Amino acid sequence: MSATVFGLCGAVAAGLGLYGVITDAQLLRKILAFNMLGAGVFLFFGVVARRGAAAGFAGDPVPHALVITGMVVAFAATAMAVALLLRLFTASGAATFAADTTSADSDSTDT
Amino acid sequence: MTIDFALDCGIALLVLAVAGWTIVARASFAAVVGFVSFGLLVTLAWVRLAAIDVALTEAAIGSGLTGALLLGAAARLRSNETAKQAEVPGAALRIASALLAATVAATLAAAVLLLPDPAPTLAPAAAANSGATGLGNPVTNVLIAFRAMDTMLEKVVLVLALVGVWSLAADRCWGGMPSPPRGADSGDATAFLAQLLTPLGIVVGIYILWEGADHPGGAFQGGTILAAMWLLVMMAGLAKAPAISRRSLRLVLIAGPAVFLVVGLAGLWFGAAFLAYPVDHAKAVILVIEFVMTLTIAVTLALLLAGPPDREASP
């Protein structure tokens, strides 16, 4: 019963994250929203695991292990994305995807 | 039952309220703070889903380390924010993406409601084979034995991500030291905290690693705590970040995947298959892998957060 509640919660969190990824102009906010989308999907795994409780375990350990691995990989990807964003910012002064006319001439100064 | 259910509904509503606020918040800094709160509330959800191992990981990595990373980035991008805040997409795009997001959420919700009953589960298989490793925690069993291939490849992903982050350094800084985020006023209080907390944190990190054999915990959670302690010492200015060209550092970074590969190939050579552990010494081999892996995880996570080197190597 409660597993279903958190499943619905994860579904809505994933939807909110997807909305943020598309509509937020700032790249940092896109990264943040993408992590929220991921957290929602991970909760979905948690619901599947909880429903699979059997053999004396409170949940199926296989989805749990997959989620733990997924969280670490998500952090690695986030660190990579943030590093790219900060590099873009130092190279061009921009932190969005919007066309920036000043980026072309300041590009060469930092390399 | 009813009180439990009300509690679960309350947690779920709080998670969604904070999530919505995080998405619509105007300032990036506020949004990151919202994201950290979101992560901690999701941790409660994981506890309620009887997944303590996952809850520990979410609190440590999903909320803690990711939050620290995003806070640091938000602080560095702050000067840029006021100029760019006007750039909001048009109403048509916002409505279309809201419709898309609602459709995806509704599909996921339908999938939750229509899950097969009885649910398919691998728990009996995990329970039946738990005697082979001598570990009592089923999640650690799956991570380190039954699906060891995933965990090994994940170590490789961590190293690759770090290589990617480092490759963003400017040419003159290659081989130099990263400068981890440091508050402008990090003075005596931070140094005191780092001196007081670090020894305790190291003990807690190793304890969580050791307890992971039979209770919730393990290499990821313990390694993250150790990484946090190292970062705290670096942020307080008590220790410098290492130069990325240091050989000892690089050996630690590849030790985790390397030990995994050696054990895996030994399993192929002497045993039945890749990553097949020797039957009599499974627990000893697993402990060696976990200890080396924890060290690699701690160093890799801390350096991922510290970012690319931006100071030249000292001569």
B214-271 tens-digit pLDDT: 777 788 888 999 998 988 888 887 777 888 888 888 898 888 888 888 888 888 887 7
From A105's Cα to the closest Cα of chain B, the distance in A is: 18
Residues B187 and B306 placed together within one structural domain of the fold? yes
Q: Over 90: is that where the pLDDT of A51 sits?
A: no
When divided into structural domains, chain B yields a total of 2
Number of other CB atoms surrounding residue A15 within 10 Å: 25
My answer on whether B72 and B136 are in the same domain is: no
- For residue A103, what pLDDT band results from cuts at 50, 70 and 90? very low
How far, in Å, CA of B261 to CA of B254, rounded?
11
Confidence of residue A102 (pLDDT cuts 50, 70, 90): very low
Amino acid A1: pLDDT: 66
Q: What is the mean pLDDT of residues B59-65?
A: 88
Residue B87 within a domain:
no
CB-nearest partner of A89 from B35, B66, B80: B80
User: How many C-beta atoms surround the C-beta of residue B137 within 10 A?
Assistant: 22
Indicate the SS3 state at residue B11.
helix
Out of B111-115, B118-122, B286-290, least confident range: B118-122
A20-59 burial code (b ≥16 CB/10 A, e <16): bbbbbbbbbbbbbbbbbbbbbbbbbbbbbbbbbbbbebbb
Beta bridge partners of A96: A26
What CATH architecture applies to the domain A2-95?
Orthogonal Bundle (1.10)
How many Cβ atoms sit within 10 Å of the Cβ of residue B295? 18
Residues B207 and B306 in one domain: yes
In residues, how long is chain A? Answer: 111
Cα-trace Rg, chain A: 19
Exposed e or buried b per residue across B143-169, where buried means at least 16 C-beta atoms within 10 angstroms of its C-beta: bbbbbbebbbebbebbbebbebbbebb
Does position A111 have pLDDT exceeding 50, yes or no? Answer: no
Q: What is the pLDDT of residue B135?
A: 75
* Contact check, Cβ <8 Å, B165/A62: no
Residue B82 has a pLDDT of 55
- Residues of B within 8 A of A52 (CB-CB) are 119-123
Q: Is B154 in the same domain as B20?
A: no
What single-letter DSSP state applies at residue B311? B
Query: Could you tell me the two tokens for A30?
Result: 């896109």
CB count within 10 Å of CB A109 equals: 8
Whether residues B207 and B289 share a domain: the answer is yes
Asked, as a colleague might, if the bond just before B181 is cis with ω within 30 of 0, I would say no
Cα B141 to Cα B14, B126, B249, B272, B293: the distances in Å are 33, 8, 29, 19, 15
- Mean predicted confidence (pLDDT) in B53-58: 89
Tell me which of B18-27, B45-54, B62-71, B135-144 is least confident.
B135-144
Q: What is the mean pLDDT of residues A81-87?
A: 90
Select the highest-mean-pLDDT range: B61-70, B172-181, B205-214. Answer: B61-70
CA distance A101 to chain B (A): 14
pLDDT(A99) > 70: no
Neighbours of B193 (CB within 10 A): 14
The reported pLDDT for the residue numbered B279 is 72
Are B59 and B135 within one domain?
no
Number of residues that this document lists for chain B: 315
In the structure, what pLDDT confidence band is assigned to residue B46 with cuts at 50, 70 and 90?
Answer: very high
Over chain B, what is the mean pLDDT? Answer: 83
CB A96 within 8 A of CB A27: yes
- CA-to-CA separations, B301 to A72, B32, B161, B198, B294, in angstroms, rounded: 9, 19, 10, 17, 10
Q: How far is CA B175 from CA A81, A110, B243, B274, B298, in A?
A: 21, 17, 6, 36, 20
Contact list in B for residue A12 (CB cut-off 8 A) is: 16, 19, 105, 109
Question: Does residue A108 surpass a pLDDT of 70?
Answer: no
Q: Are B49 and A59 in contact (CB under 8 A)?
A: yes
Nearest CA-CA distance, residue A80 and chain B, Å: 5
pLDDT tier at B128, thresholds 50, 70, 90: confident
Instruction: Determine the pLDDT at residue B181.
Output: 64
Lowest mean pLDDT among A59-68, B2-11, B180-189: B180-189
Q: Is residue B91 part of a domain?
A: no
Answer whether residue B79 shows pLDDT above 80.
Answer: no
**pLDDT score of A110:** 41
Q: Can you say whether the dihedral through the CA atoms of A8, A11, A15, A21 is positive or negative?
A: positive
Provide the number of CB pairs (under 8 Å) joining chain A to chain B. 297
Containing domain of residue B64, as a range?
1-76
Q: What is the pLDDT of residue B211?
A: 83
Query: Is residue B118 included in any domain, yes or no?
Result: no
Asked whether the beta carbons of B76 and A85 are under 8 A apart, the reply is: no
Q: Which of B1-5, B189-193, B290-294 has the highest mean pLDDT?
A: B290-294
pLDDT of residue B281: 76
Contact between B161 and A76 using a beta-carbon 8 Å cutoff: yes
Residue B177 DSSP symbol = B
Of B87, B142, B171, the CB nearest to A25: B87
Residue B47 counted as domain residue? yes
What are the chain A neighbours of B161 within 8 Å (beta carbons)? 76-77, 79-80
Q: For residue B88, is it within any domain?
A: no
Q: Which residue of B has its CA nearest to A82?
A: B73
What would the two tokens of residue B2 be?
């009813």
Does residue B61 sit in the same domain as residue B137? no
For residue B74, list chain A residues with Cβ-Cβ distance below 8 A: 28
HSE (side-chain half, CA atoms, 13 Å) at A102? 8
Residue A35 to residue B307: CA distance in whole angstroms = 19
Question: Of B153, B150, B140, whose CA–CA distance to B257 is shortest?
Answer: B153
Average pLDDT (A88-107) is 62
For range B275-303, the mean pLDDT: 84
Lowest mean pLDDT among A54-63, A95-104, B1-10, B234-243: A95-104
